A and B are shown apart, each in its own frame.
Chain A
Amino acid sequence: MGAAPGALEAHLRSRRDAGRKLLVPYVTGGLGEHWLEAIEAMAAAGADAVEVGIPFSDPVMDGPTIQEASQRALDGGATPLGILAQLEAIHACVPLVAMTYYNLVFRTGHRRFARSLAASGVSGAIVPDVPLEELGEWSRAADDAGVETVLLAAPVTPDDRLAHICERSRGFVYGVSVMGITGERQSLAESAAVMAKRLKAVTDKPVLIGIGVSTPAHAVEAAVEADGVIVGSALMRRLLDGADPDELGALVGDMRAALDAG
């Protein structure tokens, strides 16, 4: 696949190549009053991109924290296109990556959904229940709209398949740290380093490790082999507990500082 890297991948590559470890925090779209400000605060605190969850009623890859965040956002009236319309208005100085489940894409329509992402300034998309085999219709629409579809690789993914995933992934490659769903964990799984090493061996695209990255120490540990990390539940738990955007920004700042210190 000789396609030139998209804007998201180019942005992440240039930062990585400048020696920086990448940090991508996650925010559930539509959660509470201040989710947009939370995105801006995280970006200002040193995030390299922000992942925005578009909540789905049945999130099978998510643990209790993101489930609760999603349910609260839905109870508050959040809708996919409503969230995207709100994103249009903000000034995050870093790329945005949408994370959602396939039925929302399918119901909205592949092309309409992809164009809506692009129109809202979202440059990437993660749709975890669309594996390589089912990618066709969505990736055609996303590619046409200039939205980079990030694919997941898992510890159980065999080597030949891993190479294929890396080849087809856009923006970056999302390495799943551990066999399991999203949620905070006491320690980073040993499988995280193995996952990152296996991915780095077959791709030059940015490799980010996600799921269970809960503390600055975890982030540093994961980023030894990987190019960076994705942090979701640890931040969303604080948001659910009532933290304001500045506090979330400070948490991201702590992770940034830890990663920069190595």
Chain B
Amino acid sequence: MGEPSPDGRFGEYGGAFVPESLVPACLELDQAFRSAWGDQAFHDEYLQILEEHAGRPTPVTNATRLSERLGVRVLLKREDLTHTGSHKINNVVGQALLARRMGKHRVIAETGAGQHGVATATACAMFGMECVVYMGEVDVARQALNVFRMKLLGAEVRPVASGSRTLKDAINEALRDWVASVESTHYCLGSVTGPHPYPWMVRELQRIVGDEARGQCRRILDGSDPDYVVACVGGGSNAAGTFAGFVDTEARLVGVEPAGGAAVGRGVPGVVHGSKSMLLQDEHGQVSESHTISAGLDYPGVGPEHAHLAAMGRAVYVAADDAEVLDALQLLAVTEGIIPALEPAHVVAWVARAAGTDDLPEGSTVLITMSGRGDKDAQQVMDLLG
């Protein structure tokens, strides 16, 4: 998973399909990130903040009891143990540093489950920046706890009432804000989606997940890599960061999409939010609404690099439905004492279903990226389980 082409392509996917008003900002961001990412001082500060404030490196946990139950050896990369509770902090710290480097003091973000919003609000509080987070009304209701956390952290949360009132529409509204504010504002996009350079930049800022896990797995597995590396995919940032650490190994890469929002599995090529990728849409090109209990995966598109990895056959994309996700969440809770967020519970669901089949043969070693913890979903899960 190297650099995209100069026009921001991963194979045939990617690009920068943005209005002229945003083109100079995307070009500036590409230059700024390129320069920062090649600067040791920037790297050092990024790592120092992640270590001192966010609890990196995160451990890899041997899921002993779950492994016994499933007949495959499960390792968990514990992004749920980071400050703010998910991998989102990795990306946000990098982008906040970049915003400061570009002299931008206002930051906007979109959020679905609220994890990216909370992470952005946290970084803005640390850096003394103004923060506005767009969030669909449906998500504001089902992730009320995270809305409150963002407000406590000093961010303004703007509910979005248009369209499906979820992540897709929050991105639309953030882009509309950015069209008007681009000269003073950095758009801190939360996934490997959007126009170039975001898919590349966010993957690079998340590759710390995969790079750490690779070394940790080798220590645990006596120098070997896992047979399977599995992560959930909405836009796909934790998966992209995880896969980046293993793409040049023999490990099989598996992305798990929600059954009601499987852009790679059920979409066709399309262009939304600035890049060409796989997209759920109708025959005319109108973007479909996704449907899943997981606000963080409730997105009809997917990052362009995932579309490319799928087209090349380097990664495969499977799906898990709402019911098996709820079962999986409880399974991990009672076997490992870990309550996962609904998003990585999709991965546990697929591993539980596939274990012992040709898709995941008995005795395999599988690394799961536990992208976030379940506190934010406790109320919703309580309601769903009655």
Contact = CB atoms under 8 A, between A and B. Distances in A.
B168 interface: yes
Interface string A50-73: 000000111111010001000100
A15 B189 CA distance: 45
B232 to A, nearest CB: 23
A216 B276 CA distance: 40
Interface residues of B, number: 38
Given A128-B20, A176-B21, A134 B175 contact: no
A134 B15 CA distance: 8
Interface in B249-285: 268-274, 276, 279, 281, 283-285
Interface stretch (B94-102, B177-185, B331-339): B177-185
A129 interface: yes
B287 A58 contact: yes
30 contacts: A58-B163, A58-B168, A58-B272, A58-B273, A60-B19, A61-B176, A74-B286, A80-B285, A81-B284, A103-B272, A103-B287, A106-B276, A107-B268, A107-B283, A108-B285, A128-B19, A129-B274, A131-B19, A132-B20, A134-B17, A154-B20, A154-B21, A154-B23, A155-B21, A156-B25, A156-B182, A161-B24, A178-B180, A179-B181, A180-B179
Given A79-B284, A104-B284, A152 B20 contact: yes
B162 interface: yes
A14 B276 CA distance: 39
A157 interface: yes
Given A104-B284, A107-B281, A181-B180, A131 B18 contact: yes
A104 B285 contact: yes
Contacts of B17: 102, 129-131, 134
Interface string A144-171: 0000000111111110010001000000
Given A58-B272, A103-B272, A106-B271, A131 B16 contact: yes
B248 interface: no
B292 interface: no
B20 A153 contact: yes
B20 A131 contact: yes
B45 to A, nearest CB: 29
Nearest to A156: B24
A133 interface: yes
B7 interface: yes
Nearest to A55: B286
A102 B18 CA distance: 10
Contacts of A129: 17-19, 271, 274
Nearest to A181: B176
Nearest to A152: B20
A80 to B, nearest CB: 6
Contacts of B176: 60-61, 63, 181
B330 interface: no
Contact of B285 (A107, A133, A178): A107
A190 to B, nearest CB: 15
Contact of A158 (B24, B180, B272): B24
Interface residues of A, number: 42
A152 B25 CA distance: 16
Residue with the highest number of chain B CB atoms closer than 10 Å, among A103, A128, A181: A103
A103 B270 contact: yes
A72 B100 CA distance: 41
A103 B179 contact: no
B179 A61 contact: yes
B216 interface: no
A73 to B, nearest CB: 11
B179 A181 contact: yes
A179 B285 contact: no
Contacts of B7: 133
A156 B287 contact: no
Looking at B21, B162, B271, B279, the one whose CB has the most chain A CB atoms below 10 A away is B21
A53 B181 CA distance: 25
B175 A57 contact: no
B224 interface: no
A60 B172 contact: yes
Contacts of B175: 60
- Looking at A63, A152, A179, the one whose CB has the most chain B CB atoms below 10 A away is A179
A212 to B, nearest CB: 11
Interface in A84-140: 102-108, 128-134
A114 B283 CA distance: 17
A191 to B, nearest CB: 11
A165 B20 CA distance: 10
A116 to B, nearest CB: 12
Interface in B173-206: 175-176, 179-183
